[in-house]
C-alpha cells in the first residue's frame, strides 16, 4: 500500500496475516530511489499500522555496526526486514512490476504468468523478456508506458555469472546453471538442511579462482545460464504424447518445505489444513488440438487422506482394473481411468510420494516426452490456483531419462535426480526452491518439530537455544537482568521474570577473534540465541531438577514482539536451598505446536527462606498463562 506521511510520499509495506515477518516497513520515495542501484536508503519499522501512518513511535532496532539502538535501518541490513527489501528491490530492478504477464514457451498454455507476485518470478522474463532460451526468446506482455527496470543490472545479467549488481544473486537463483551462487556445502538430501544422522554437511574442499588482467584476451569460464522449465513436444505434429504406459516402479516425489538456514529455527511448509494438490495427466486433445487435462484429475487433500488425516504420505495411482490400496478400502479400480488413493504410509512433513501406476509415455524406441500439470490451490477456492507444467522424458521401458534438462518444470520449481545411471525410476520436484517459495504465501505455515506419525519433521531444527535470563520488572515494564549473561544466576528475591538473552548486559552481538583471526567466542549474530519468531510464544518452565522430570514448579508464556524479543511476567518461586533449572521453548502463536528445541538450562538460585508462596501455573493449565506482549519500547535492547 502507499501512504502519505508528514506530507511526503512514502511506501508502507504491510505484513499479511500469516507472514512470519511482522512490523510495518516505511520507506520514503527518496530513500527508495537510493536503494535501487545501490542499497544506500534507509527505512523505519513500526509495530502497528496506526503508528506507521502517523509516523510516531518507531520500533527500536539494534544496529550491530554501531553497537547502539536506532530508529531506522539500512535497506540492505541482514535482518528479517532486510529480506523483505531483497524481494521488493529485486522486483524493481528486474522490472517485474506494472502488470506484466510472462508468456509460456509452450504455445498450448494460454494463461499468462503474473509477474507482480514474487512466487511467479522467472529470470527469463526479467528486464521485459527477450532472454534467449529454448531456441527462441522469452516474451512478456502488458508492459506499461512508464515501465522501469535497471539497465545496469541488465548488463551483468546478460553477460556475466558474477554478483555484479544489487540482489543479482536473488534475481538469478532460479537458473538451473549459470547463476552467481557457489555451492560451499557438500550434497545433502533434497529438502533438508542436515544429513540423515543430524550433523551438518562438510564444506567443499576447494574453490578455484582465476584472475584475469585487462590485457588478457582469451577469457574463459562464463557459463550460459539455463533454466530447465520446458521441453518441446513432438517435432512432427507439435503435440505431446498421451501417457499410455505404467510400471509399478516409477515414482514422483514432491517437496513442499522451504528449509531454514538459520540454526535452531524452523522453515515454512505448505499448510495442509487449507491447501490441496491436483496431479493431472494429458488425457488427449480436442478436435482443435487443445489439450485435455481436467477429465480425470487426481486430487490430494485432507478430506481424502484417510484416517492418518495428512497430506504427507504416499499416494498410490491405480490404473483401470488395478488393485486399490488396503488402507483405502481395497478392491479394484472399476473406472476406465487412473484414480488416486492414499496408502497409509506416513512421510516427513511437506513430502508427498506418487507411486503405483504413474502413467508415462512409453516410446518403445528412443525417448518420449510427456506433459503433466500440477495445480496447487486452497480447498475453499479463496486462494488463486497456480499450475506448474511438468515435462518428462522417458526411455523405452518407462523409466525417466537421467540427464540435465531431460525432466523439466516451470513456475520456479526445480527437479532433483540422483546421478549415476542413464535412467531412473524416480525424481523429486522441489516447490520451495532457493530462498523463496513458489506457491502463494497465504498457503504456508511454519514447520513442526513434533515427531512420530503422521507428522515427521523434514527440516529438523539445528542447535539448542541459549538459556533464558532471569531478572526483575519495574513498574514501567522495564526488564533488568540479574547479572551479565551466564548459565547460573542468583536472585535476592524469589520473585523473578525471564527474558531472551539479548536483554542481558554484556552479551556480545558479534563473534570475537584473536590476533590470528581465530574464533574466540560466539556472538548473538553467529549462534542461535533464544530470540523467536514475531508473535510466537516463548514457553518458560521452571523445574527442581536439570532433567526436567516431575511437575514443573512454574510455567509462563510470553508473546514475542515484532522482532522476536520477549519477556515473561514475574513469578514468585518457593524458597529453596537447592537451585531451580529454567528452560524455554518456542511455540507457534496459537500455542498448538512447538517450533523450536528446548533450550539450555539456566541454573537459578533463590533465597532459602523468608519467601512467599509460589504463584506457579499448573502444567495442565499452561495455556492460560499470560505473558507480556513485546517489551518496553524505551528498553535498551542489546541485540
| Strand extents, DSSP E, 1-100 | 2-5, 8-13, 24-28, 42-46, 61-63, 68-70, 73-74
Judging by DSSP bridges, how do beta strands 400-401 and 423-424 pair with one another? Answer: antiparallel
Task: State whether 264 and 384 are in the same domain.
Answer: yes
**Do the Cβ atoms of 260 and 459 come closer than 8 Å?**
yes
Q: Where are the beta strands (DSSP E) in 547-633?
A: 554-559, 571-572, 580-587, 602-605
Residue 5, burial from CB neighbour count under 10 angstroms (0-12, 13-18, 19+): middle
Last residue within a domain, chosen from 41, 74, 94: 94
Model confidence band, residue 59 (pLDDT cutoffs 50, 70, 90): very high
How far, in Å, CA of 332 to CA of 339, rounded? 11
226 DSSP assignment: B
From 526, 538, 516, select the one nearest 467 (Cα to Cα). Answer: 538
Q: What is the pLDDT of residue 127?
A: 94
Higher-confidence residue: 486 or 573?
573
Indicate if 275 and 424 belong to the same structural domain: yes
> Are residues 393 and 528 part of one domain?
no
- The tally of domains found in the chain comes to 3
> Is pLDDT at 526 greater than 70 in this prediction?
no
Neighbours of 171 (CB within 10 A): 28
For residue 290, what are the domain limits? Answer: 245-435
Residue 24 located in a structural domain? yes
Q: Same domain for 539 and 425?
A: no
**Pairwise CA distance, residues 308 & 304, whole Å:** 10
Mean pLDDT of the 320-331 span: 92
Q: How far apart, in whole angstroms, are the C-alpha atoms of residue 569 and residue 619? A: 17
**Residue at which a domain ends, from 61, 94, 127:** 94
**Structure confidence by residue, pLDDT tens digits, 95-127:** 999 899 999 999 999 999 999 999 999 999 999
**pLDDT for 419:** 82
Minimum mean pLDDT range among 21-30, 74-83, 182-191, 214-223: 182-191
Is the pLDDT at 456 greater than 60? The verdict is no
Task: In whole angstroms, give the CA distance from residue 218 to residue 391.
Answer: 38
283-319, pLDDT tens digit by residue?
999 999 999 999 999 999 999 999 999 999 999 999 9
Residue 522: inside a domain, yes or no?
A: yes
Cell output for 409: 518444470
pLDDT digits (tens, 9 = 90+) for 459-509: 344 568 889 999 998 888 888 999 877 778 899 989 999 999 888 876 766
Is the bond preceding residue 454 a cis peptide, omega within 30 degrees? yes
Q: Looking at the structure, do residues 418 and 556 belong to the same domain, yes or no?
A: no
pLDDT band at residue 218 using 50, 70 and 90 as cut-offs: low
E strands present in 6-126: 8-13, 24-28, 42-46, 61-63, 68-70, 73-74, 101-103, 113-114
In order of 263, 498, 584, the CA distances from 466 in angstroms are 12, 13, 9
Residue that terminates a domain, selected from 94, 118, 149: 94
Q: Is residue 370 part of a domain?
A: yes
Same domain assignment for residues 572 and 426: no
**So what's the pLDDT on residue 387?**
97
Average pLDDT over residues 392-405: 90
Give percent of the chain with pLDDT exceeding 90: 48
For 456, list phi and psi in degrees, rounded to 5.
-120, 115
- For 400, the grid coordinates are 525417466
Residue-wise pLDDT for 127-172, tens only, equals 999 888 877 889 999 988 889 999 999 998 988 888 888 888 899 9
With both helix axes pointing from N to C terminus, report the angle between 80-94 and 29-36 in degrees, rounded to the nearest 10: 70
Residue 304 lies in a domain: yes
Q: Please, what is the Cα angle at 370 between 368 and 374, to 5 degrees? A: 160
Interval 29-52: pLDDT, tens:
999 999 988 889 999 999 999 999
Give 399-434 pLDDT, tens digit per residue: 899 999 999 999 999 999 988 899 999 999 999 866
Percent of the chain with pLDDT over 70: 82
* pLDDT tens-digit map of 341-377: 999 999 888 888 888 888 998 876 567 899 999 999 9
Q: Is there a single domain that holds both residue 257 and residue 393?
A: yes
Band the pLDDT of 245: cuts 50, 70, 90: confident
Please, which residues bridge with residue 479 across strands? 473
Q: How many CB atoms lie within 10 A of CB 21?
A: 18
Give me the sign of the Cα torsion angle 75, 81, 83, 89: negative
**568 within 8 A of 632, measured Cβ to Cβ:** no
Same domain, 613 and 502: yes
Residue 203 lies in a domain: no
Mark whether 424 and 536 lie in a shared domain.
Answer: no
424 and 479 assigned to the same domain? no
Residue 171 lies in a domain: no
pLDDT of res. 62 = 67
Outline where DSSP puts E strands in 95-243: 101-103, 113-114, 132-133, 136-137, 139-141
Rounded Cα distance between 96 and 571, Å, is: 53
Collapsing DSSP to helix, strand or coil, 283 comes out as: coil
- Is 192 inside any structural domain? no
- Distance in angstroms (rounded) separating the CA atoms of residues 31 and 42: 6
State the pTM of this model. Answer: 0.83
DSSP annotation of 628 reads B
Sign of CA dihedral 298, 303, 305, 306: negative
Q: How many other C-beta atoms can be found within 10 angstroms of the C-beta atom of residue 64? A: 16
The DSSP output letter for 525 is: T
pLDDT(264) > 70: no
Which residues, including other chains, have CB under 8 Å from residue 130's CB and lie 6 or more apart?
Answer: 137, 138, 139
> Does residue 494 fall inside a structural domain?
yes
Q: What angle do CA 299, 304, 307 make, to 5 degrees?
A: 150
- CA distances in angstroms from 70 to 447, 477, 634, listed in the order given: 32, 20, 12
What separation in angstroms does the CA of 178 have from each of 5, 156, 174?
A: 43, 12, 10
CA dist 66 and 281 (Å) reads: 58
Cell numbers of 517, please? 583471526
Q: Is the pLDDT of residue 214 over 50?
A: yes
Cell of 7: 506530507
pLDDT at 275: 95
- 532 and 428 housed in the same domain: no
Centre a 10 Å sphere on the Cβ of residue 19 and count the other Cβ atoms it contains.
Answer: 16
DSSP 478: -
Q: How many helices (H) and strands (E) does the chain have?
A: 5, 41
Q: Give yes or no for a contact between 115 and 126, defined as CB atoms under 8 angstroms apart.
A: no
Distance CA 270, CA 301 (A): 12
For residue 453, what pLDDT band results from cuts at 50, 70 and 90?
very low
For 385, the grid coordinates are 490456483
Mean pLDDT of the chain: 82
Q: Give the three-state DSSP class for 367.
A: strand
- Quote the longest CA-to-CA distance of the chain: 92
Say how many residues make up the chain: 639
Whole-number pLDDT of residue 96: 95
Find the distance separating the first CA and the last CA of the chain, reported in whole Å: 30
Decide: helix, strand or coil at residue 306: helix
The grid coordinates of residue 617 equal: 501455573
- The Cα 302–Cα 308 span in angstroms is 9
Q: Are residues 419 and 493 in the same domain?
A: no
Q: Average pLDDT, stretch 622-630?
A: 33
The pLDDT of residue 65 is: 54
SS3 of 412-452: the string is: CCEEECCCCCCEECEEEEECCCCCCCCCCHHHEEECCCCCC
Enter the C-alpha cell of residue 500.
Answer: 531472551
pLDDT confidence of residue 115 = 94
Amino acid at each position: 500500500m502507499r501512504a502519505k506521511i508528514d506530507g511526503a510520499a512514502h511506501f508502507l509495506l504491510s505484513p499479511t496475516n500469516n507472514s512470519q515477518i511482522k512490523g510495518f516497513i516505511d520507506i520514503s520515495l527518496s530513500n527508495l530511489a537510493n536503494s535501487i542501484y545501490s542499497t544506500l536508503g534507509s527505512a523505519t519499522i513500526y509495530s502497528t499500522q496506526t503508528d506507521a501512518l502517523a509516523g510516531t513511535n518507531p520500533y527500536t532496532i539494534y544496529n550491530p555496526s554501531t553497537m547502539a539502538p536506532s530508529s531506522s535501518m539500512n535497506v540492505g541490513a541482514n535482518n528479517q526486514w532486510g529480506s523483505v527489501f531483497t524481494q521488493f528491490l529485486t522486483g524493481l530492478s528486474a522490472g517485474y512490476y506494472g502488470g506484466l504477464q510472462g508468456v509460456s514457451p509452450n504455445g498450448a498454455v494460454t494463461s499468462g504468468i503474473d509477474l507482480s507476485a514474487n512466487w511467479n518470478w522467472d529470470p527469463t522474463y526479467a528486464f521485459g523478456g527477450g532472454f534467449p532460451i529454448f531456441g527462441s526468446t522469452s516474451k512478456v506482455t502488458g508492459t506499461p508506458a512508464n515501465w522501469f527496470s535497471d539497465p545496469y543490472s541488465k548488463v551483468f545479467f546478460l553477460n556475466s555469472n558474477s554478483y555484479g549488481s544489487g540482489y543479482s544473486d536473488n534475481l538469478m537463483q532460479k537458473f538451473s546453471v549459470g547463476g552467481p551462487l557457489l555451492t560451499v556445502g557438500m550434497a545433502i538430501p533434497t529438502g533438508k538442511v542436515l544429513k540423515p544422522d543430524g550433523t551438518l554437511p562438510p564444506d567443499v574442499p576447494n574453490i578455484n579462482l582465476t584472475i584475469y588482467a585487462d590485457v588478457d584476451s582469451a577469457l574463459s569460464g562464463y557459463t550460459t545460464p539455463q533454466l530447465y522449465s520446458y521441453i518441446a513436444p513432438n517435432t512432427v505434429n507439435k503435440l505431446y504424447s498421451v501417457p499410455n504406459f505404467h510400471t509399478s516402479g516409477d515414482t514422483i516425489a514432491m517437496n513442499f518445505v522451504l528449509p531454514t538456514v538459520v540454526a535452531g529455527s524452523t522453515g515454512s511448509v505448505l499448510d495442509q489444513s487449507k491447501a490441496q494438490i491436483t496431479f493431472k495427466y494429458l488425457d488427449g486433445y480436442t478436435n482443435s488440438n487443445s489439450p485435455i487435462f481436467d477429465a480425470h484429475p487426481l486430487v490430494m487433500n485432507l478430506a481424502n487422506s484417510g484416517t492418518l488425516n495428512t497430506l504427507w504420505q504416499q499416494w498410490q495411482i491405480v490404473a483401470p482394473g488395478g488393485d486399490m490400496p488396503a488402507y483405502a478400502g481395497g478392491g479394484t479400480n472399476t473406472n476406465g481411468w487412473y484414480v488416486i488413493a492414499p496408502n497409509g504410509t506416513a512421510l516427513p512433513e511437506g513430502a508427498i510420494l506418487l507411486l503405483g501406476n504413474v502413467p508415462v509415455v512409453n516410446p518403445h524406441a528412443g525417448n518420449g516426452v510427456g506433459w503433466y500439470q500440477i495445480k496447487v490451490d486452497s480447498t475453499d477456492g479463496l486462494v488463486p490456483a497456480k499450475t506448474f507444467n511438468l515435462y518428462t522424458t522417458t526411455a523405452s521401458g518407462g523409466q525417466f531419462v537421467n540427464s540435465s534438462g531431460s525432466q523439466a518444470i516451470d513456475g520456479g520449481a526445480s527437479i532433483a535426480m540422483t546421478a549415476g545411471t542413464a535412467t531412473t525410476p524416480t525424481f523429486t520436484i522441489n516447490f520451495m526452491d532457493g530462498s523463496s517459495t513458489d506457491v502463494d504465501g497465504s498457503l504456508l505455515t511454519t514447520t513442526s518439530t513434533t515427531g512420530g506419525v503422521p507428522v515427521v519433521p523434514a527440516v529438523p531444527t539445528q542447535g539448542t537455544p541459549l538459556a533464558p535470563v532471569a531478572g526483575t520488572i519495574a513498574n514501567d515494564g522495564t526488564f533488568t537482568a540479574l547479572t551479565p549473561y551466564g548459565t547460573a544466576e542468583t536472585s535476592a528475591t524469589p520473585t523473578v521474570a525471564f527474558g531472551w538473552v539479548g536483554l542481558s548486559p554484556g552479551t556480545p552481538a558479534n563473534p570475537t577473534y584473536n590476533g590470528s583471526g581465530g574464533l574466540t567466542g560466539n556472538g548473538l549474530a553467529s549462534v542461535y540465541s533464544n530470540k523467536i519468531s514475531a508473535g510466537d510464544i516463548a514457553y518458560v518452565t521452571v523445574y527442581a531438577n536439570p532433567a526436567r522430570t516431575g511437575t514443573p514448579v512454574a510455567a509462563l508464556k510470553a508473546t514475542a514482539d515484532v522482532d522476536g524479543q520477549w519477556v515473561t511476567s514475574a513469578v514468585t518461586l518457593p524458597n529453596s536451598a537447592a537451585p531451580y533449572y529454567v528452560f524455554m521453548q518456542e511455540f507457534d502463536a496459537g500455542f498448538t505446536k512447538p517450533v523450536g528445541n528446548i533450550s539450555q538450562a539456566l541454573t537459578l538460585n533463590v533465597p532459602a527462606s523468608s519467601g512467599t508462596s509460589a504463584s506457579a501455573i499448573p502444567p495442565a493449565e499452561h495455556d492460560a498463562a499470560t505473558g507480556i506482549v513485546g517489551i518496553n519500547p524505551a528498553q535498551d535492547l542489546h541485540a
